[in-house]
């Protein structure tokens, strides 16, 4: 009981969170979202203004999000009160020289007059921007961004935890249904046992009456083998064990999606075998109902981290 009380909650793989922040003359907006995936895949869209930011972001997210196709974007801008970003004059000179060379080549060699380049066009060129941030200022901004990222991920995981709790409830109800159907299958199999034995005895007598020289012991062995092959006791026992294992995973919490997905495959394997051995309308219908519930559970499990 103590272990379960400390267990991490089950989370959905899908989620979304956004957050705005500001510090040291800069403002920013985060956007974090995720959808289902077989593994962990993080894609980022971060400005390269702050050195080492992407590596720090990836390191921070890795232990907090274990599974899902995750997209993180950051929009960072200087506050208007801080004034315009200074111009990189060395880069400006190089750009102006290149523009003049292009214009002269176009006119002299190709008799092509280009549209004039405006100051706005030049300022929009990324190379001209200079953050004006020293190493210490960059470190301070990076720390502020990473602190805000932690709050963003907390909001993101809170949403996924809420969805995960709802998923766990749905899966628990489906496990209850599987348990009930498995008990009904065991009862139906027990009820047909006497009829099945009687049918086998009748078949044995019919074979012996219509087969000259047939080995009665060999025929009896073959019929007994058929009886064993139609017994669904093991399938029912394994279904009960799988239900217990799935419930234990739900109680343990954390990233249990892959293991639950594996269990749903095992559930379906036993249900298919039960249907193939049914030899009765009631047992066949129970097997089909089991397959329907298991398939529904598998759809839910696909959303679990």
Termini Cα distance of the chain: 23
- Among 152-156, 189-193, 218-222, the least confident range: 218-222
pLDDT mean over 221-239: 71
Residues 6+ away with beta carbon under 8 Å from 164:
9, 10, 11, 12, 304, 305
Say yes or no to pLDDT of 1 above 50: no
Say yes or no to pLDDT of 7 above 70: no
The CATH number for 182's domain is 1.20.140
Residues 6+ away with beta carbon under 8 Å from 304:
10, 11, 12, 13, 164, 167, 171, 256, 257, 260
Position 123 scores a pLDDT of 55
User: Distance between CA 255 and CA 245 in Å, rounded?
Assistant: 15
Position 2 scores a pLDDT of 39
* Residue 158 sits in the same domain as residue 169: no
Residue pair 286/181 in contact (Cβ under 8 Å)? The answer is yes
Domain that holds residue 45: 2-84+133-162
Position 112 scores a pLDDT of 86
Higher pLDDT, 209 or 79: 79
For 113-171, give the DSSP string. PPPPPPHHHHHTSGGGB-----HHHHHHHHHHHHHHHHHHHHHHHHHHHHHHHHHHHHH
* Pairing outcome for strands 40-45 and 68-78: parallel
Residue identified by tokens 């289902």 is 36
Higher pLDDT, 295 or 96: 295
Helix residue ranges per DSSP H, the chain: 2-5, 53-61, 89-110, 119-123, 135-209, 216-229, 233-252, 257-277, 281-301
User: Distance between CA 257 and CA 188 in Å, rounded?
Assistant: 33
Average pLDDT, rounded, for the chain = 83
Angle at 64 between CA 60 and CA 67, to 5 degrees: 120
* Residue 297 sits in the same domain as residue 201: yes
Residue range 53-103, pLDDT digits in tens: 999 999 999 998 989 999 999 998 877 665 555 666 676 787 788 888 888
The confidence band for 4, taking pLDDT boundaries of 50, 70 and 90, is very low
* Residue 96 sits in the same domain as residue 58: no
Where does a domain end: 72, 100, 126? Answer: 126
* Residue 242 sits in the same domain as residue 284: yes
* Residue 141 sits in the same domain as residue 173: no
* Residue 106 sits in the same domain as residue 217: no
* Residue 152 sits in the same domain as residue 212: no
* Residue 195 sits in the same domain as residue 288: yes
Position 106 scores a pLDDT of 86
Residue pair 28/145 in contact (Cβ under 8 Å)? The answer is yes
* Residue 213 sits in the same domain as residue 112: no
Say yes or no to pLDDT of 217 above 80: no
Higher pLDDT, 113 or 256: 256
* Residue 145 sits in the same domain as residue 14: yes
Taken in order 230, 234, 236, 239, is the CA torsion positive or negative? negative
* Residue 117 sits in the same domain as residue 141: no
Where does a domain end: 126, 154, 184? Answer: 126
User: Distance between CA 289 and CA 188 in Å, rounded?
Assistant: 14
Position 49 scores a pLDDT of 79
Where does a domain end: 117, 142, 162? Answer: 162
* Residue 101 sits in the same domain as residue 190: no
Residue pair 66/40 in contact (Cβ under 8 Å)? The answer is yes
pTM of the complete model:
0.70
Say yes or no to pLDDT of 195 above 70: no
Say yes or no to pLDDT of 120 above 80: no
162 has which bridge partners?
none
pLDDT mean over 290-294: 98
Q: How many distinct structural domains can be found in the chain?
A: 3
pLDDT mean over 260-265: 96
Residue range 178-194, pLDDT digits in tens: 999 999 999 988 877 65
Say yes or no to pLDDT of 50 above 60: yes
């Amino acid at each position: 009981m103590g272990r379960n009380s400390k267990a991490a909650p089950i989370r959905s793989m899908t989620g979304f969170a956004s957050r705005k922040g500001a510090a040291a003359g800069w403002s920013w907006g985060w956007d974090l979202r995720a959808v289902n995936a077989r593994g962990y895949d993080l894609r980022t869209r971060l400005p390269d203004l702050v050195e080492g930011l992407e590596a720090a972001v990836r390191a921070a997210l890795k232990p907090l999000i274990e599974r899902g196709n995750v997209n993180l974007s950051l929009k960072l801008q200087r506050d208007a009160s801080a004034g315009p970003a200074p111009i990189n004059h060395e880069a400006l000179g190089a750009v102006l020289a290149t523009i003049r060379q292009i214009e002269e080549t176009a006119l002299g060699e190709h008799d092509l007059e280009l549209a004039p380049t405006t100051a706005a066009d030049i300022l929009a060129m990324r190379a001209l921007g200079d953050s004006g941030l020293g190493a210490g200022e960059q470190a301070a901004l990076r720390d502020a961004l990473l602190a805000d990222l932690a709050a963003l991920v907390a909001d993101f995981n809170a949403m996924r935890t809420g969805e995960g709790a709802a998923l766990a409830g749905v899966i628990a109800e489906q496990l209850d249904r599987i348990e009930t159907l498995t008990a009904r299958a065991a009862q139906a199999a027990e009820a047909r046992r006497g009829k099945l034995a009687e049918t086998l005895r009748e078949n044995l007598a019919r074979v012996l009456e219509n087969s000259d020289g047939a080995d009665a012991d060999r025929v009896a062995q073959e019929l007994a083998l058929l009886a064993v092959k139609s017994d669904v006791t093991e399938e029912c026992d394994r279904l009960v064990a799988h239900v217990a294992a799935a419930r234990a995973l739900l109680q343990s919490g954390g990233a249990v999606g892959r293991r639950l997905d594996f269990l749903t495959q095992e559930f379906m394997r036993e249900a298919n075998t039960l249907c193939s051995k049914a030899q009765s309308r009631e047992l066949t219908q129970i097997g089909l109902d089991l397959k329907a519930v298991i398939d529904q559970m598998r759809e839910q499990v696909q959303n679990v981290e």
